[in-house]
Amino acid sequence: MKALIQELVEAYGPSGHEGTVRNLIRRHVEPLCDEVRVDAMGNLIALKRGDGSGRRVMLAAHMDEIGVIVSHVDEKGFLRFGTVGGVRPTQVLGTRVLFGNGQQGTIGQEQPASPDEKPSFDKMFIDVGAPNKEALTVGVGDVACFQRPFADLGQRLMSKAMDDRIGCAVLVQALRDLKPSPHDVYFVFTVQEEVGLRGAVTSAYGVAPEVGIALDVTIAADTPEAAHMNMALGKGPCIKVKDGGMLAHPGVKNLMVATAQRLGIPYQLEVLLGGTTDAMAMQTSQAGVAAGTISVATRYVHSPSEMVDYDDVLNSVKLLVGILSAPIVL
């Protein structure tokens, strides 16, 4: 599964520019599904039909990653930029970026007035090595992602875009491992989650599921002086109870816990103090959906070097397959 993860995390795919990632995933899922389509927003929707006795289930993992967008070009060829998604100034100075046309660059900063001055986006720029404005191959409106290669650290994996290509990889692997299921399962790879769950809003409306499960990352609170939360690397999939945007449906949460206990899968209960996932969009779609989230604890979320535990990933696949292989009673 590591090869799949590397392929997905290294691909270019900031919000609104998910086409490369979508094409990669489609190649993996199309032979395994009964129907595959792309909707008007760009969501990839792959349907695996059940035997007719189960429920209509939507699984969602977002393809997009955070990035930066060029807002101004000066005469010397330096690019001012805004953010796409939750990018923090303390995480990006000196980081290499990659544009959709292959152009690389690095993020620099004006000379600070004092050593104590905090980094701020209004003082930053992208340097692509151009001698002047006329030599540029990118301009206003072009979007870049961070450029960091996948690193296999053994038990731990590190890369940009673990959020949420790791969720996409879990869905692909679950589809590979899933035997005949009672449920009609919609594997939905969503767009524009990082800028407001936009792909999940429209795809959930179109799929109209009875049950929704998001696969995403959550903040690992196991580093020095971290926030007081329960999630840690290596302790199993995180079963969401609450985050900044939703309360998980009690029946879905209890189903996840019961399945993990039945299969002997280690798990953690997740109360995330801020942020949310595509499950929020599913939960509030149309007349409402019973929704929850399986999360992979991740260090350094929304940085160019996000870190996950490989066993957590594999156990997330096992948990999801276990849920889909049995009747869903909420």
10 is catalytic: no
The residue type at 219: I
Cβ-in-10-Å burial (0-12, 13-18, 19+) of 222 comes to: middle
d(CA 307, CA 155): 10
Q: Crossing angle for the helix pair 19-29 and 2-9, nearest 10 degrees? A: 160
Catalytic pick among 65, 193, 270, 306: 193
Q: Contact 233/220 with Cβ under 8 angstroms? A: yes
Strand blocks (E) in the chain? 35-38, 44-48, 56-62, 67-73, 79-84, 96-99, 104-109, 124-127, 143-146, 151-152, 156-159, 184-190, 211-219, 238-242, 268-271, 290-298, 306-309
Query: What is the DSSP-derived secondary structure letter of residue 281?
Result: H
Task: Kindly list the catalytic residues.
Answer: 193
